[in-house]
Every structure is written in structure tokens, then in C-alpha cells.
Amino acid sequence: MVTVLNNETKNLLVEKIANKNACIGYVGLGYVGLPSALKCLEVGYAVRGFDKNSAKIRKLERGISYISDIQDTEIQDALHTNRFFISTEMNYINECDVVVICVPTPLERTSKQPDLTYIHSAVNELVKYIKKGTLIILESTTYPGTTREEVLYKLEQKTNFKIGVDIFVAYSPERIDPANQSFSIQDIIKIVGGVTSNCTDCAAAFYSNLIKGIHKVSSPEVAETAKLLENTYRFINIAFINEMTQICNELNINIWEVIDASGTKPFGFQKFYPGPGVGGHCIPIDPIYFKWIANNKNLTTKMIDVAREINENMPKYVLNRALQLLHDKDGKNILMIGVAYKKNVNDARESPALDIMNDLMLEGYNVDYYDPYIGELFVGNNTLKKSIDLNLSQLNKYNLIIVHTDHDCINFKLLNETNCLILDTRNIFKDESIYKKNIICL
């Protein structure tokens, strides 16, 4: 009798998901939640989107996108379906059969330890309104144990529902790469780890309608750690190539040519490229989450520690390269090309550009920037900077141009027409036909 009851709620939910009769709720409408919500709409689900940022909700209500990957017309089309409801209030969560939590997981500003404030807030609201038969999935990147300790525990303490019987809890890490046109949401295999086998089955049933491939794992902890491994792998390899770059510069060897040469080997080598530092909401943050949980168990993280030191020093390295180039110049004007943390996004979170610009300003230089994706930003001690217009007469007033972000839409040929020094941190000017002596690679 118990077995029948266990499967009854699960089977009803799986049937609703399969028939597209389930209502899907997304808590957090950022670079993960919003495109995922739109994907659910596309396949036929009713969607409820929740975000505490009222400015975001107002923009969406007016049909305006705040994410570079999503066009305004996509938001407008979503609103016209009459299946897309958005709010700052979580009380509508009781309409949802599936709730996906995809809120930020930053580091605390002073301690640089994991900050789960957004997860805590989401779960505290969720437990007030959740109904029987709901699937709750955490997608936010976090350290192993979070789903069980922060989501499952509160659901057990604050509700009378039995996990795996009345409600279902799973972890499935977001794997979205903003501005990556080669891999969209449905192309990237989804890792799913439930608290129970029923939980895993429900989560897999949901994602199978959205994603081409599902990879089930034995627990939320495995899924949580898999995401941290992916990004820590990148973090460490970026640090390695950044260190190689500094060594090669001292040996008067072009690191970019070295990488291309090594890349001709068809096995045992993957290309990583140097840059001004790591930025964004994942690569500089996720390894620190892994370090934190390891250190809490009295385990060392030597590779992460060394990689962190190298990557965090790269903005200083760029600064020193710039100062060396300008040491015998009278002018004090510098232009930063691109301030976003990566190409083709409107996001400057953790961007190395902010540190480089601030340090140059502290050295007494006048620093401007051009970024078609970011109209204005605060640098250093809340100094407001606005993106300049890019034209030849404007460019010629600068003593040094630093290429920081290689957005596809930037006219780099225009930069090549100037006679001022260019410090190229992205190897934009690798083509020998446009390479000039005033262009210096990182």
C-alpha cells in the first residue's frame, strides 16, 4: 500500500510534465533563469517567473530584455502567449508544479566566503507556498551538500511533506555559457541528482522535454561537485597559461604562436588562452566554493590556491605592461577597449577591466573606455565612467589603447589606423597583414 502511495504522486507529476500541463516556476530571472523560462514557454509549458529585482520585472513587463543573448522581441512574444507571468512576489509559487531555483551564489565581500543569501531567501519564501506534488530543483552553482543542508532540511523542518513521496528535491547545475552561439540550452547535457530515486526520476522527466541528453547521478552532492570540477578545471588551466605567458614574454617568445603549435597535437592537449584575468559570475567564484568546503574538512587545495594567486595577479601584470610602455611618454590618456568580463555580453561582474582602470587612475592616468554592451559603470571609489564614441579623431588623442574585451561588433580595423600604442590582451591583431610595431601582445 505504501509503495502505491509513493508512486502515485510521482506518476501524477511525471504525467503532467509529459503532457505539458505542468506549470513551471523560475526563481531568479538572470542569465540562467530567463532563457530557461523562455525555453519552457517554447515547448508549451505555462511559466511563472519570480525575481526580487523590481527593475527587472518592470523591464520584462514592458517587453524589454536586460540580457544580451535575448532580444526584446523574444520577451514580447513570451508575453503574448498568455502563459508567461512574472512577479516579485513568491505567493504565486503555489500555482507551480516544478520550481527551479537559479539565483546568484556570490562570495561575501569581506570574508570572500560562499554567500548563500539568495538561496536562503528563495527557500524561506518557497516553504510558505509549496504544495504537494511539487518538484524543487536547485540549479545555482554551490558547494557539495547545499541541496541537502539548505533546501531539503528547510523543507523537512517547515512543511509536513515527505521528500520523495509528497514533494521531490533535486540538484541540476546550470551549464549555460552566455554569448556562446555554438551551444544553446537544449544542446548541453543536463546532470541530475535527486535526494531519492523518485526525485531523480521526476527531475529527469522534466529536463528531458527541454534538453537533448540527461545524465543521472547518484546524489545531489555528485552533481554539485561535477559543476565545481568543470569550472575549477578551467580556472587552473587559465592560470597555467597565464603563467606561461609571463615566462614566454621574458624569453621573447610569442605565447600565442606556441599555443597554436601545441594545438596541432590531436590528443593530450586542449587550448587555453591567456588574458587580462578571469571575470564573471562563475570562473573566479566557483573554485573558491570548492576551496571553502575542502578547507572546512581540514583539506588543502594547493592547485586552487596557486591558480587563484596567478589569476588575481593578471590585472596587475597588465598594469605593469602598460606602465612600461608609457614610461617615456608625456601623455596621460588611456583608452580601454571593452570592459565586459567576456566577449559579446553586457556583464562586467568581476571583470579585470575594473581593477586595471582603477589602478591606472591611481597612477595618475586619465582612463576612458569603449564598450558597445556597457554604456556606463562605476570604477574604483564610485567614479562613474561612460562609454565614449569610437572614431578616428577620438582615438588619436590617446597615448595607449588596451584591448581588454574582443566583442565581435567592435571595429578593430579602426584601431589599427591609429599610430598610438596598443596593448592587445586578446591577440586580436594576430593577422600578419595588419600587425604593426605599435601593437604589443600581452
Q: What is the CATH number of the domain that holds 276?
A: 3.40.50.720
Task: State residue 4's pLDDT score.
Answer: 45
Task: State residue 361's pLDDT score.
Answer: 95
| Within a domain: 112 | yes
Question: Do 262 and 136 lie in a common domain?
Answer: no
Question: Do 172 and 273 lie in a common domain?
Answer: no
| Within a domain: 352 | yes
Task: Say if CB 7 and CB 77 are below 8 A apart.
Answer: no
Say how many residues make up the chain: 442
| Within a domain: 185 | yes
Task: Say if CB 120 and CB 192 are below 8 A apart.
Answer: no
Domain final position from 167, 196, 222:
222
Domain final position from 197, 222, 247:
222
pLDDT tens track for 136-149: 999 999 999 999 99
pLDDT tens track for 163-184: 999 999 999 999 998 888 888 8
Task: State residue 196's pLDDT score.
Answer: 97
Question: Do 104 and 169 lie in a common domain?
Answer: yes
| Within a domain: 228 | no
pTM (predicted TM-score): 0.93
| pLDDT of residue 433 exceeding 70 | no
| Within a domain: 229 | no
Q: If pLDDT is split at 50, 70 and 90, which confidence band does 435 have?
A: low
Question: Do 329 and 430 lie in a common domain?
Answer: yes
Q: If pLDDT is split at 50, 70 and 90, which confidence band does 438 have?
A: confident
Question: Do 180 and 43 lie in a common domain?
Answer: yes
pLDDT tens track for 245-282: 999 999 999 999 999 999 999 999 999 999 999 999 89
Question: Do 309 and 368 lie in a common domain?
Answer: yes
Question: Do 202 and 268 lie in a common domain?
Answer: no
Q: If pLDDT is split at 50, 70 and 90, which confidence band does 6 have?
A: low
Question: Do 259 and 191 lie in a common domain?
Answer: no
| Within a domain: 291 | yes
Closest CA to 367 of 322, 300, 325: 322
Question: Do 246 and 284 lie in a common domain?
Answer: yes
| pLDDT of residue 219 exceeding 60 | yes
| Within a domain: 227 | no
400's grid cell: 595607449
Range of the domain at 389: 234-441
| Within a domain: 254 | yes
Task: State residue 2's pLDDT score.
Answer: 42
| pLDDT of residue 216 exceeding 70 | yes
Active-site entry in 23, 40, 102, 282: 282
Domain final position from 173, 199, 222:
222
Task: Give me the residue label for grid cell 541540476.
Answer: 172
Question: Do 282 and 209 lie in a common domain?
Answer: no
Question: Do 243 and 191 lie in a common domain?
Answer: no
- 282 tagged catalytic: yes
| pLDDT of residue 431 exceeding 90 | no
Q: What is the mean pLDDT of the chain?
A: 94
Q: How open is the CA angle 92-97-98, to the nearest 5 degrees?
A: 100
Count of structural domains, the chain? 2
Nearest-angstrom CA–CA distance, 365 and 231: 35
Nearest-angstrom CA–CA distance, 136 and 295: 29
Question: Do 241 and 164 lie in a common domain?
Answer: no
Task: State residue 381's pLDDT score.
Answer: 85
